[in-house]
Amino acid sequence: MSLKVKIILGSTRPGRIVPIVGKWVEELAREQNGFDVEVVDLKEIDLPLLDEAGHPRAQAYEHEHTKKWAAKIAEADAFVFLTPEYNSFPSAALVNAIQALAVEWERKVAAVVSYGGVSGGMRAAQELRQLLVNMNVMALPQSVPVPFVFNFIGDDGVLRPEQPVVDGLKGMFNELSVWGEALKPSRAQAA
């Protein structure tokens, strides 16, 4: 049975390019590893800022939007977070989406693909990985930065990064697969 991988588009701002980056990541995920992939767009999820009265560990969600978000995350085996870098940090929408839940993230693996200018979003990726570890997620040490991302988007709106970036993404998917399969039994034991 293939891993259920959620590719989470971590930007909601107007003019964002995360859907372009997401399409590239999704295509490679499907062709290389045969993952059961779903792209999850935080703009469509549209979570308000932490509006549940109770702590997320209790899973006593009152709002339908949180219940739907929790169900979507609970069904996953692994995640690929796509993040721009806003002031050396991931987007507020992405941080909010992660912090809205707790148990649903646990004992799963996550990878980070970041993009931006000269740093390729690496500072945001580092902050995001730290948050994920605090949520009891196995955050892969391998992350894939896409520096100067705008230089690699063609007139057709397709991202075509340099080969080392593509190779990095392929290697990251291999690690995601290894860790995703390895962590499945630990979730069954915890249930």
Give pLDDT tens digits along the chain (191 positions): 689 999 999 999 999 999 999 999 999 999 887 899 999 999 999 999 999 999 999 999 999 999 999 999 999 999 999 999 999 999 999 999 999 999 999 999 999 999 999 999 999 999 999 999 999 999 999 899 999 999 999 999 999 999 999 999 999 999 999 999 999 999 888 76
Global pTM reads: 0.96
DSSP state letter for 47: P
Sheet with 138-146, edge to edge strand ranges: 36-41, 4-9, 78-84, 109-115, 138-146
Sequence length of the chain is 191
Q: Domains in the chain, ordered, with CATH?
A: 4-190 (3.40.50.360)
